[in-house]
Structure 1
């Protein structure tokens, strides 16, 4: 190979390697860690937490940080360093108090983070718009970024993880962000809690099934230990209204008592009793346990369902806002969902109840409800590890219109068969 050819080949290979290095995508086996500031905005103070990745924090403070060290020898230094780089100022220029709680080490996105509880308090005890100033790590590590997220603000309708709002990013250019904490009103929180109530009942197979078990015998009357068709549709509709009202009164009472701390029961027994309530109402739908028993069942077990609703309010942290507004909004959502279920199903059930096919339909649906409830009871009492019918329940709950249309189709078909039979009997 001649020297010119050798030189040309060498130059070509070097150019190819350089081009490959430029075009190749950056390696992502070790993504750059980011910090996070999470804010929970209340009426009197702002709570939250600061999440600091240990690898980035180590570079910023020029120390070799370990899980053991940040909770031991380096604890006081790191807390002091972090506190010096966080401040808050109201729109009137007055500084707010910023306090950090005891730090812990937590794995976030598979990376160890030092996490501090955060509390920001205005001098007059009333949270309004303020500026958050922050440059932890960023003041030394210019490539670092800090995500700022509001995960709770009742007045702006931010109540749970799915509602969280990203305010912005702190970096080497941005060291201050405006936090909108006084822009909205309680109406948005009220609407948001109502939406949570609608979502909870609409996606809760047990609550929906309990309501269905109560509605099935509602167009009937108990006579001599058996179900008979109600004398008139007006009386049937009245009984339906009584059942829905009884359930609403029951769960509203315990929802208020539990949410205000007057009643406090463990979750597992409450959930097991809810499954029991479905079983009892299913048995009542097959054969009446007592005259007007569905109203008694709706009231009595409605008390139990109210405890479960209150537990949800606590789990989601909805009680951090105005408790009265939260209870009213959440309860409104529950009642709207129940009324929607009644509106979708009851016209069909009223028609079906006056056909000879209703006893078979009522019994079949009640047996299915009984099987589901027993399965729930066993699982919630920790006697079994799984619910074998979970996929079926999820499928049905996810298709309410399909269920309503199917019941309406059955009602129309049964009414048509009955009409033809009456016509044939009249001809003969």
Structure 2
């Protein structure tokens, strides 16, 4: 039992669920100036919270400062930003060739104070003068600010877009035209993006797949569930990416967490493969596809390489899910799967742990209680 719990908790600890949303930067490169409009949680930037270390601002050492900024009206928060800008500007990794650029604030748009339990998405527009040597521009920010989506605007349908993490910077963006990508490079990049969306970033998807794994080690039940889940999330991923289906994350995310609870509880009370289990997994796969689509949509991009992005991302997601199953099979299935006590000592306790994790996420995403926030892996 301890091995199973350690496996489940270590996988969750190594990943992040969807609470941390990346900032989104739209980049426009001109002949003598680059401008970047960033949508972000401005309070976290001003409070200098290291979001690479946490996924809940309540756990930050400067959480009180963050909360105070959240309660400020737009004018006061903008004054705080401008007053701290000399230091904050060092976090932005702008360069032209080998020359570093120091961005200045062009404009700030901050919504009025609303529900303090919800993130307030502000927009800041930055600009930097470019040297007259014609060198291309790279954009990024330091790792402590978290993930950053870069999108080149005023460009063609095959223009560059990427999700940067860990202090990465963009590809070189030319001053004339745009950084076009080939179908092959887009396909490969989105395979990586899809895989990373599961490992290490998709804790809820990892836990759901483990719920499918602990239902049964037999090939037929596992194959039936994985196939139903794959077909379903492929459908909604495509529909959502095309803009045909749109459901707010505030609805999708709690339902994804609820799906984790359901499959785990059914593992315990009704471990029989039938049309019901397959249909349930299919329906939950539709929900998870909507969750995947939110990331795919943030990465932007036009229609030129739409299929490359969609198929590549989906393949990456599948490879990530298969990797989770493979690790679980090697660590649990092979050494213990044929033991008489496997179900009572491993599958049921593991499913119980998964159900508890799912319950926590449901409560946190619906009510923002964070009542188990003191538990490191949650």
Work out whether the TM-score is over 0.5. Answer: yes
The corresponding residue for 2:143 is none
Q: Which has the higher contact order (CA 8 A, sep 6+)?
A: 2
The corresponding residue for 2:285 is 302
The CA deviation string for residues 21-55 of structure 1, in whole angstroms up to 9 with x for no partner, is: xxxxxxxxxxxxxxx993489xxxxxx96269xxx
Among 85, 89, 96, the residue aligned to 1:110: 85
Separation in 2, partners of 1:197, 1:208? 13
Shift of 1:314: 1.6
The CA deviation string for residues 275-323 of structure 1, in whole angstroms up to 9 with x for no partner, is: 1000001101111176435433321101100010011112232567622
The corresponding residue for 1:337 is 320
C-alpha contact 1:37 1:51 (8 A) present in aligned 2: yes
RMSD between superposed Cα atoms in Å: 3.9
The corresponding residue for 1:232 is none
Report the CA distance shift for 1:389/1:366 in structure 2 as closer, same or farther (over 3 A): farther
The corresponding residue for 1:361 is 346
The corresponding residue for 2:377 is 392
C-alpha contact 1:156 1:185 (8 A) present in aligned 2: no
The corresponding residue for 1:195 is 192
2:339 aligned counterpart, secondary structure: coil
Separation in 1, partners of 2:129, 2:160? 32
The corresponding residue for 1:38 is 27
Separation in 2, partners of 1:37, 1:290? 50
The corresponding residue for 2:246 is 264
Aligned length: 254
1:232-271 to structure 2, matched below 5 A, reads: 236-271=218-253
The corresponding residue for 2:183 is 186
C-alpha contact 1:50 1:115 (8 A) present in aligned 2: no
Report the CA distance shift for 1:138/1:362 in structure 2 as closer, same or farther (over 3 A): closer
2:260 aligned counterpart, secondary structure: helix
Separation in 2, partners of 1:306, 1:265? 11
C-alpha contact 1:250 1:303 (8 A) present in aligned 2: yes
The corresponding residue for 1:94 is none
C-alpha contact 2:159 2:178 (8 A) present in aligned 1: no
Structure 2 residue 359 is matched with structure 1 residue 378: no
The CA deviation string for residues 341-388 of structure 1, in whole angstroms up to 9 with x for no partner, is: 222223542653321221221111111111111110011002514542
The corresponding residue for 1:164 is 169
Structure 2 residue 339 is matched with structure 1 residue 352: no
Gaps of at least 5 residues in structure 1 are 1-35, 42-47, 53-104, 117-134, 169-175, 220-235, 394-428
1:5-84 to structure 2, matched below 5 A, reads: 38-39=27-28, 50=35
Structure having the higher Rg: 1
TM-score (norm: length of structure 1)? 0.51
The corresponding residue for 2:12 is none
Separation in 2, partners of 1:152, 1:260? 18
Separation in 2, partners of 1:339, 1:349? 14
Shift of 1:390: 5.8
1:133-152 to structure 2, matched below 5 A, reads: 148-149=137-138, 151-152=150-151
Structure 2 residue 261 is matched with structure 1 residue 279: yes
Structure 2 residue 316 is matched with structure 1 residue 316: no
C-alpha contact 2:215 2:271 (8 A) present in aligned 1: no
1 or 2, which has the higher strand percentage? 1
C-alpha contact 1:158 1:189 (8 A) present in aligned 2: no
TM-score (norm: length of structure 2)? 0.57
Report the CA distance shift for 1:261/1:51 in structure 2 as closer, same or farther (over 3 A): closer
C-alpha contact 1:253 1:303 (8 A) present in aligned 2: yes
